[in-house]
Structure 1
Amino acid sequence: MKVKVLSRNPDDYVRETKLDIQRVPRNYDPSLHPFEVPREYTRALNATKLERVFAKPFLASLDGHRDGVNCMAKHPKSLSTMLSGSCDGELKVWNLTKRECVRTLQAHEGFVRGMVVRFCGTSFFTVGDDKTIKQWKMETPGYGEEEEPLNTILGKSVFTSIDHHQKEGVFVTCGQQVDIWDEQRSSPIRSFSWGVDSFSCVRFNPVETELLASCASDRSIVLYDMREATPLKKVIMNMRSNTLCWNPMEAYNFTCSNEDYNLYTYDMRYLDKPFTVHMDHVSAVLDVDYSPTGKEFVSASFDKTIRIFPKDSGHSREVYHTKRMQHVISIKWSSDNKYILSASDEMNIRLWKANAAEKLGLVRQTVLFLSFTSSVRTSSNLQVPGIKSNVMKERWISEQCRMLTINR
């Protein structure tokens, strides 16, 4: 009689140290798991459906403007502070935590074309159709004090955009040309032009802080270096670009929003063709802003929608829209990577989640200390002798009586 004995080498199963993971024997033969792929597909599909069920991206609407909101600006030091400018020249400072306006001032006559907060957060700059650049205090004036700008510069033409240097007291504006200004002077320290009628947007590079880029009316994107006397490079596209935004983590990459319903991501070292073409919008794209991580960006379009794109993907992962929201003119991604702010021409600013299904708010203590449950249960359920248990009970009763006497 032949007997087959099961044997194994214990060295293959015994851990070398107690920190090693226990080895679990598994048989990966597909014949033993005939429905593995359909089962995993069903699980993934159910998880996706549940995520869509719990997706509630819209958080709040900030009302108060009496005309369409044309531009917005983030505060570099405060997550809860945001500025907005409207088409009637009115500027509002918002507290996003309380979701209310904390300050209102008449900044310009006509449109507020652009605004930016100084890198230290103590003041902010605005430009408008009245050909002026104004610097304002971030602090609200005291009771009875008039709202007056710290400094006013009168230009020769209308300014369409403004941005501030990340480390120095220098800012840049664009209109008929690109001008670089020192905060202490009333005339530009340097001006750039490349045979272009006008510029619609200009942005400093947040990493390589001496570089900047602009969108021009002749369908071109022009790159500059503050240290040079002439522009660096120029790329001409099929249709005009409205705005652009630099990637905050990848110094050479930027994304521009175009009139041909697409967005284009370029590497400034290779401007022959775009790095990625981002499609899905069905009308002109008006604004774009990157997340602080640099992995995603959000776009605002004339088709009344907001779309979130991964930086390497040609299609959006999320689209936000409401029945009342009209053409979205400006868009911002909050500095904590959790919220998106959109401004549209029906006078509203809307607050959205960056991740539609993410649960926000305070964590309940039952969830926060869930990891302590097992250790607490072990310590509270220790078995003790009956005599010791009675002594502990008497001590607890006497302690309660003592506390009751003290509280009286």
Structure 2
Amino acid sequence: MKVKSLSRSSDVYLPARNTEVSRLPRNLDPELHPFERAREYSRALNATKLSRVFAQPFVGQLGHGHIDGVYCLAKNIKRINAIASGSGDGIIKYWDLTTREEAVSLKAHHGIVKGLAVTLDGNMLSCGMDNTVKLWDVNKASEPEGGLVKTFLGGSGFTGIDHHRTNSIFATSSNKVEVWDITRSKPTADLSWGADNVNSVKFNLSEQSILASTGSDRSIVIHDLRSNSPVQKLVTLMRTNTICWNPIEAFNFAAANEDHNVYMYDMRKLTRALNVYKDHVGAVMDVDFSPTGQELVTGSYDKTIRIFRVREGHSRDIYHTKRMQRVMCVRFSMDTRYIFSGSDEGNIRIWRTEASSRTGVKSARQRAKLEYDAALIERYKNMPEIRRISRHRHVPKPIKTATEIKKTEVASIKRKEDNMRKRSKKGSMPFQKEREKHVIGVAINPPQKE
């Protein structure tokens, strides 16, 4: 006869502190808990309600902001407590996020600053409509020269700039796409393809020989630095303001469009979008991926910021304030906890990525409770009551009115198309796919320059 002695560790039932109550052993056998799902649903409902009660996304603003509108932001990929901003009066500032005060303020350009980038050694590159690109050493800003290291002259006003992740090269957009070496005063390559004016340019974050640009001819062009030539060109119904590459999925990028939507593309097949992110009622001015590649944030002309999950088509949250005007630029922090936005009235605001989250040291039991609540909400997120509470947001009256008008217009267009399809020959009016109807055409391998 075998005899098994029951034994358990004292860590399971003894309290960690004298102030805690002794923990009771619990048998997790499902047969002993017939109402477990009902209890879990009640806990998920309470957790959803509490997340909305404690939702306070706005953290604060940086210093006193700018005198003019903020039109570009740049983050340092090697530091989580620094960010750069550029405004319409030619001022660029380097901010210390721990104190929320400016560390460096420089009069960089005559006119609007259109682009900013942080180099590998922590310096700043700025470009403006005064036909110049300037390299700044932020550690020497107090010297008589103001920290100016070098000036690059261009043939026309610059509209965007981006720096390579590993090499000392950068790309600019103006009336053409040019690649520069920091050690030289002239561009090393011209990658333009057809557009009269190029709005923005971005390097791929993984395969860094690839960069993409957006043009005034409603095009998105993929360029290859290995051959110093453009590779593909996508033309859409309306203009794309800017793009952002996914830092994890190297082939995918998001494009902020004038038709109130953001489109996700795979560069290997540009004839259709991977996803369409809706809900804005104004032109989307900027888009940025989180460092994990799981979410993206958008800033729009309708004075709101929206956060999307990559696999979903509608926003999971919307941020707005009474004084915030048109949002021109947005960025995720490098630890994904915060969002920075620059708007037309000159303020740079800090938002929490999770509206109900709080900073500070948490005990192990508190962290376990938060993770348990998050798992319950995710499990029961499709239940009607939980879905209604988690999706409900108070929005400004102009946004609500514009949303209702847009829904009415879209429904009217669909109803008209259905009526025409019913009265037309069968097959003469095929249904247009939502992810393809904004694409006009894709061109590959442009003609070589003479």
- The 2-side partners of 1:295 and 1:311 are apart by 6
1:334 aligns with 2:333: yes
- The 1-side partners of 2:207 and 2:173 are apart by 20
Q: How do 1:368-379 and structure 2 match up within 5 A?
A: none
SS for the counterpart of 1:269 is: coil
SS for the counterpart of 1:168 is: coil
Query: Per-residue deviation at 1:196?
Result: 1.0
Q: How do 1:27-66 and structure 2 match up within 5 A?
A: 27=31, 33=35, 40-62=40-62, 63-66=64-67
Between stretches 323-332 and 352-361, larger displacement belongs to 352-361
- The 1-side partners of 2:223 and 2:291 are apart by 23
The question of whether the paired residues in 2 share the 8 Å contact of 1:223 and 1:234 is answered with: yes
What TM-score, normalized by structure 2, do the two folds share?
0.73
What residue number does 2:158 align with?
159
CA deviation digits over 1:298-332, x for unaligned, max 9? 00001111011011110111111001101000101
What residue number does 2:170 align with?
171
Q: Which amino acid aligns with 1:250?
A: E
Query: Per-residue deviation at 1:164?
Result: 0.6
What residue number does 1:194 align with?
193
Q: How do 1:168-317 and structure 2 match up within 5 A?
A: 168-317=167-316
- The 1-side partners of 2:50 and 2:344 are apart by 34
CA deviation digits over 1:239-292, x for unaligned, max 9? 101010000011000001000000000011111100000001111000001111
The question of whether the paired residues in 1 share the 8 Å contact of 2:104 and 2:141 is answered with: no
The question of whether the paired residues in 2 share the 8 Å contact of 1:61 and 1:348 is answered with: yes
Query: Per-residue deviation at 1:220?
Result: 1.0
CA deviation digits over 1:347-383, x for unaligned, max 9? 100011111111113x16xx36999xxxxxxxxxxxx
Q: Which amino acid aligns with 2:55?
A: A
Against the structure 1 CA distance between its residues 368 and 180, is the aligned structure 2 distance closer, same or farther, given a 3 Å change threshold? same
The question of whether the paired residues in 2 share the 8 Å contact of 1:55 and 1:356 is answered with: yes
Against the structure 1 CA distance between its residues 40 and 188, is the aligned structure 2 distance closer, same or farther, given a 3 Å change threshold? same
What residue number does 1:77 align with?
78
User: Aligned Cα RMSD in Å?
Assistant: 2.6
The question of whether the paired residues in 2 share the 8 Å contact of 1:286 and 1:329 is answered with: yes
Query: Per-residue deviation at 1:186?
Result: 1.1
Q: Which amino acid aligns with 1:189?
A: T
Unmatched 5+ stretches in structure 2: 10-24, 368-450
SS for the counterpart of 1:283 is: coil
- The 1-side partners of 2:366 and 2:273 are apart by 49
Greater gyration radius: 1
Query: Per-residue deviation at 1:94?
Result: 0.9
Against the structure 1 CA distance between its residues 25 and 69, is the aligned structure 2 distance closer, same or farther, given a 3 Å change threshold? closer
What residue number does 1:385 align with?
none
CA deviation digits over 1:194-239, x for unaligned, max 9? 1111110100001001000011111111001101132111111111
Against the structure 1 CA distance between its residues 166 and 22, is the aligned structure 2 distance closer, same or farther, given a 3 Å change threshold? same
The question of whether the paired residues in 2 share the 8 Å contact of 1:266 and 1:273 is answered with: yes
CA deviation digits over 1:125-182, x for unaligned, max 9? 1000100010010214346x33151111111011100001111011000111100011
Give % identity.
47
Aligned residues: 351
Query: Per-residue deviation at 1:27?
Result: 2.9
The question of whether the paired residues in 1 share the 8 Å contact of 2:65 and 2:348 is answered with: no
What residue number does 1:133 align with?
133
The question of whether the paired residues in 1 share the 8 Å contact of 2:82 and 2:95 is answered with: yes
Unmatched 5+ stretches in structure 1: 1-9, 372-408
What TM-score, normalized by structure 1, do the two folds share?
0.81
Query: Per-residue deviation at 1:77?
Result: 2.1
Query: Per-residue deviation at 1:42?
Result: 3.6
SS for the counterpart of 2:30 is: coil
SS for the counterpart of 1:212 is: strand
Against the structure 1 CA distance between its residues 243 and 203, is the aligned structure 2 distance closer, same or farther, given a 3 Å change threshold? same
